[in-house]
Amino acid sequence: MAEPLVVLSGVNKHFGDLHVLRDINLSVDPGEVVIVIGPSGSGKSTMCRTINRLETYESGSITIDGKPLPQEGKELAQLRADVGMVFQSFNLFAHKTILDNVTLGPIKVRQKAKAAAEKEAMALLERVGVAHQAQKYPAQLSGGQQQRVAIARSLAMEPKVMLFDEPTSALDPEMINEVLDVMIGLAKDGMTMIVVTHEMGFARKAANRVVFMADGQIVEQATPEEFFTNAQSNRAKDFLAKIL
Q: How far is the CB of 211 from ligand ADP (least distance, A)?
A: 12
Q: Which residues, in sequence order, are bridge partners of residue 28?
A: 6
Q: Which of 160, 173, 149, 143 is nearest to 86 (CA)?
A: 149
Number of residues that bind Mg ion (CB under 5 A): 2
Interacting stretch for Mg ion, rule CB under 5 A, among 24-32, 43-51, 64-72, 221-229?
43-51
Q: Return the one option of Mg ion, ligand ADP, none that residue 111 interacts with (CB less than 5 to 8 A, by type).
A: none
Q: How far is the CB of 42 from ligand ADP (least distance, A)?
A: 4
Number of residues that bind ligand ADP (CB under 6 A): 11
Q: Return the one option of ligand ADP, Mg ion, none that residue 133 interacts with (CB less than 5 to 8 A, by type).
A: none
For residues 15-54, which are near ligand ADP according to CB under 6 A? 15, 18, 20, 38, 40-46
Helices (H) and strands (E) in the chain, counts: 9, 10
**Do residues 163 and 88 lie in contact, with contact meaning Cβ atoms separated by under 8 Å?**
no
Q: Return the one option of Mg ion, ligand ADP, none that residue 154 interacts with (CB less than 5 to 8 A, by type).
A: none
Q: How far is the CB of 173 from ligand ADP (least distance, A)?
A: 21
Q: How far is the CB of 16 from ligand ADP (least distance, A)?
A: 7
Beta carbon nearer to Mg ion, 87 or 133? 87
**Do residues 149 and 124 lie in contact, with contact meaning Cβ atoms separated by under 8 Å?**
no
The yes or no reply on residue 146 touching Mg ion (CB under 5 A) is no
Beta carbon nearer to ligand ADP, 46 or 168? 46
Residue 98 CB-density burial (10 A; 0-12 exposed, 13-18 middle, 19+ buried): buried
The yes or no reply on residue 45 touching Mg ion (CB under 5 A) is yes
Category of 190 on φ-ψ map: left (φ > 0), alpha (ψ -120 to 50) or beta: left
Beta carbon nearer to ligand ADP, 44 or 53? 44
- State how far the Cα of 124 lies from the Cα of 108, in Å rounded to an integer: 18
Q: Which of 234, 175, 215, 222 is nearest to 199 (CA)?
A: 175
Q: Which of 109, 47, 48, 123 is nearest to 76 (CA)?
A: 109
The contact set with ligand ADP (CB under 6 A) reads 15, 18, 20, 38, 40-46
